[in-house]
Chains A and B, each alone.
Chain A
Amino acid sequence: MGKLFAVVVTVIALVSAAIFALHTWWLPPDISTHGSRIDRQLNETMIVVGILFVAAQLALAFFVWRFGVGSAATARPVKTFPGGPTPMVVLATVLVGIEILVLTFVGSKVWAGVYQTPPAPGALQIEVQAEQFAFYFRYAGSDGKFGGMHPDLMSDANENFFGLDPANDTTARDDIVVASLVIPVDQPILLQLHAKDVNHAFYVPELRIQQDFVPGMVIPLHFTATTPGKYELVCTQLCGLGHYNMRAFVEVKTRADFDQWLKEKAAAQ
């Protein structure tokens, strides 16, 4: 029975670890300037954790194999672990402690690099409105100014997702509102996240970025995309029945394509 246990645990540990190691399922390619640091942090954690995982499971398997008895009859004297609990305490504290120090030290720099730095001065500012169950994006238009948002004017029925007041507010008249996030490549982007109704989240796996929308708060989020293409933005915070289908496309365009797109949209206003 002990040998069977050992074999099963060993097989489970090795197969599980191998699938991780072979990247059978893995992160999509990174398209952001900051993502490589997150990936490196994740890879390093994976290696350390992987070693600990395999070592712990194999130690368990080996001891069970070695010290199991078929029936209660065997009268082999028991042995205490050499040195008692002290080596265990030292091992755990030192190994895990060092890991914690390293991970915290490196990891908090990565985190700070994404969330605790101000956006680049020339960042393109885009407002994001999250609602049940779609994202809408607003560009300032030709005047470079965003019109004010008025909750009492917000209406899906009138396609007024941001609650703009073009009748009285001239800065709102040229605001461009679209359902896809279109951004130029290699340009710092600053999003201002608004939520209209409940909590939502902004998650683009390829961009290695995620942030909750919280009603009543405007949360800034900045990043730079490096590869043109079409990606999916999904909601990761439970927001109601349509949560699974709350998405938008992120289109990263070359500078020229983006300018052309913006011009067309502005003309349509």
Chain B
Amino acid sequence: MSTAVLPPSTRVPAAPVVASGGGPRPSVAQTGVWIGIATISMSFAALTSALVVRQSSAPDWQHITLPPLLYLNTLLLVASSGTLEWSRRRQAPAGLLATLALGLLFVAGQILAWRRLGAQGVFLATGPSSAFFYLFTALHALHVLGGLGGLVYVQRRAAALNAAALYWHFMAVLWLYLLVLLTWLNR
């Protein structure tokens, strides 16, 4: 096949081809999770800015006492991150199961924390502080449930483990951020 002669300006130089074996290539799934992390961060950033605006819009911000159970839940989630990492590095399936169990316990603990707050008479519509508390914890719990689904999926397709682990660690980081935010707001 003959090639036409082209004006030089239109030629694009060939891309430098990356030699294979230059370190582990991030899998597509991991790229996806990174993009997902960016999106989720953006959503929570938007909610955080909404919180800041809402807090300054009226002097009706009342402080709620966070149930101490939250700190136990935090430990559970951080521990689950640890067990997952152990499972990933040592290829120990038991670690994965432990992570699943800890994750489920975390969600159950969050639900229990809501019930504790409810028992104090603090509900979603009680005030802006409680509204944001329930909103943040519920959205985070939903994302954690999604992560649990991912971990179940990994049982079938081990190739996705790294991506699932990335997401799971992000869940722990996100929770720590939310906990600091909520504690600071209700200090």
Q: Using a CB–CB distance below 8 Å, which chain A residues touch chain B?
A: 80, 84, 216
Contacts and interface: CB of A to CB of B under 8 A. Distances in A.
A27 B57 CA distance: 38
Contacts of B58: 216
A80 B7 CA distance: 9
Contacts of A216: 57-58
Interface of B: 7, 9, 57-58
Contacts of A80: 7, 9
A84 B58 CA distance: 57
B58 to A, nearest CB: 8
Q: Which 3 A-B pairs have the closest CB atoms?
A: A80-B7, A84-B9, A80-B9
Contacts of B9: 80, 84
Contacts of B7: 80
Nearest to A217: B57
A216 B57 CA distance: 9
A80 B58 CA distance: 61
Nearest to B7: A80
A229 to B, nearest CB: 40
Nearest to A80: B7
Contacts of A84: 9
A216 B60 CA distance: 13
5 contacts: A80-B7, A80-B9, A84-B9, A216-B57, A216-B58
Contacts of B57: 216
A249 B7 CA distance: 68
A263 B164 CA distance: 78
A84 B9 CA distance: 9
A80 B8 CA distance: 11
B61 to A, nearest CB: 15
A116 B57 CA distance: 22
Nearest to A84: B9
Nearest to A79: B7
A125 to B, nearest CB: 25
Nearest to B10: A80
B128 to A, nearest CB: 14
B107 to A, nearest CB: 37
A86 to B, nearest CB: 12
A214 to B, nearest CB: 11
A216 B54 CA distance: 13
A84 B7 CA distance: 12
B7 to A, nearest CB: 7
B24 to A, nearest CB: 40
A199 to B, nearest CB: 15
A75 to B, nearest CB: 12
B99 to A, nearest CB: 47
A209 to B, nearest CB: 26
A88 to B, nearest CB: 14
A216 B7 CA distance: 64
A133 to B, nearest CB: 26
A50 B57 CA distance: 43
Nearest to B57: A216
Nearest to A85: B9
A145 B9 CA distance: 76
A157 to B, nearest CB: 28
A212 to B, nearest CB: 16
A254 to B, nearest CB: 43
A242 B67 CA distance: 48
A236 to B, nearest CB: 24
B79 to A, nearest CB: 45
A85 to B, nearest CB: 10
